[in-house]
Amino acid sequence: MKRSEKMMINLVDGFDKHLETEKKILLLEECGRKCIQDRHEELLQDAKELYKNSNDMKEFLGKLSKRYESLQIANEEIAFVWEKCFCPIINKIPAGEISPTFCNCSRGWVKELLEGATEKPVEVFIDESITKGDTRCKLRVII
């Protein structure tokens, strides 16, 4: 295991040990928001353009799902689904070795993508997580 991976495990374990749930969530969501702003700026800008050129939210989500295959829309449910953790920092860490608390980083990433594009608040729920032993990660979105 790489040093950076071990460091991330220790950091999140420290959050779990010493911080209240709300603080852990806020800190990790902020990491996810900064990640998309800094490392995936083109994706965020693309989503803003798609929203600007869409007639409504349904059209926007349809366009976004064509460009970003992890976004799935079925029976009025909106979700991002990954077969493995999409975070390059931790996706090689075996399941069960990092706390599910880390998934709030991905939650912040999804929130920033959609809130940044639409300027509307969204709720994101972690329904499934590889870190909890699920076979995939599923983040359900309510707009």
pTM value > 0.95: no
pLDDT digits (tens, 9 = 90+) for 91-125: 888 878 999 999 999 999 999 999 999 999 999 99
Q: Which CATH number fits domain 3-142: 3.40.50.620, 1.10.260.40, 3.40.640.10, 3.30.1380.20?
A: 3.30.1380.20
Cα separation, 128 vs 81, in Å, equals 9
2, pLDDT greater than 90: no
Yes or no: say if 100 and 132 are a contact pair by the CB < 8 Å rule: yes
